[in-house]
Amino acid sequence: MTKIPFYQVDAFASKPFEGNQACIMPLEEFLPDETLQAIAAENNVAETAYIVPTGEGVWNLRWFTPAVEVPLCGHATLASAHVLFNELGFEGEAIHFDTVKSGRLVVRKLSSGALEMDFPSAPIKEIPVTDEVARALGARPVQAWGGMFYAARFETPEEVKALTPDLKALKDLGAPGEGWDRGNFGCFAAGGAEVDVTSRFFAPGSGIDEDPATGSWHTMLARVMSERFEQNDLKCFQAYPGRGAFIDTRLEGDRVKLIGTSVTVIEGQFTL
């Protein structure tokens, strides 16, 4: 029998039952891919992250939803750093994560206790809103962009909060262009209660109907808001029913800083 340390963390949260759930599992080396995917399906939260030490302050990092391995995940990166800093006693100034498709990601602890992640922010392109997308979302966005995901802008936060998309139809849609993920839609509007932007993220293409807190989406949202509203520093709210998450972003060239806090809610062992 193999026992693997297991931490379930609410990421981008100040207390339990906020933000997004991630399971963090420290390993000495990566298990076979099919085993990693099976464990993530068993955990059945938005993301399971596996971390393997490779040097002083350096870990390899991979992320799996219950259905697929993903190229970038913000909330599970934040949760991984939270576990290393707060549960496993890492005392360095910064944690360096090496990833397969997103390069090196650096996470630093701020004096406030929050963690600041340094992520890439890919280029975006404004695209037309098609009738097919409007029908699947159940409302017509006023603007749309393609990039890492499909970004749909609405006029008011209330419209975003009221969305009830056809997830089956949405799964097969996306922005035109090679390399842009299908079935992953960020919907947003400027404004909200004491925030600069309110959004939701629907991800049936990644095996998740709706994600409660999505760091990778905010790397795109930061660029869209900068180009559309000339705002490089944002206070963001992701409005998932019953949870919700606050994420601060700062766009710096082709990188974006994502800032948030996390809490550990479960600690134990996963037995194989």
pLDDT confidence of residue 165: 98
Confidence of residue 179 (pLDDT cuts 50, 70, 90): low
pLDDT tens, position by position, 70-92: 988 999 999 999 999 999 999 99
**Cα separation of 58 and 61, whole Å?**
10
The residues that bridge with 235 in the sheet, in sequence order, are 248
**Residue at 236: amino acid letter:** C
Q: Are 49 and 23 in contact (CB under 8 A)?
A: yes
Q: Are 97 and 105 in contact (CB under 8 A)?
A: yes
Residues designated catalytic: 47
**Cα separation of 114 and 7, whole Å?**
19
**Cα separation of 79 and 13, whole Å?**
10
Judged against a pLDDT cut of 60, whether residue 114 lies above it is answered with yes
pLDDT confidence of residue 228: 93
pLDDT confidence of residue 206: 87
pTM confidence score: 0.90
**Cα separation of 150 and 217, whole Å?**
9
- Per DSSP (E only), the strands in 158-254 are 185-190, 197-203, 208-211, 233-238, 245-252
Q: How far is CA 141 from CA 58, 126, 150, 168, 169, in A?
A: 42, 12, 11, 19, 16
Domains detected in the chain: 3-121+259-271 (3.10.310.10), 125-242 (3.10.310.10)
pLDDT tens, position by position, 16-56: 999 999 999 999 999 999 999 999 999 999 999 999 999 99
| Rounded mean pLDDT, 6-23 | 96
Element (H, E) at 18: none
Locate 64 and state its tokens.
Answer: 């799996």
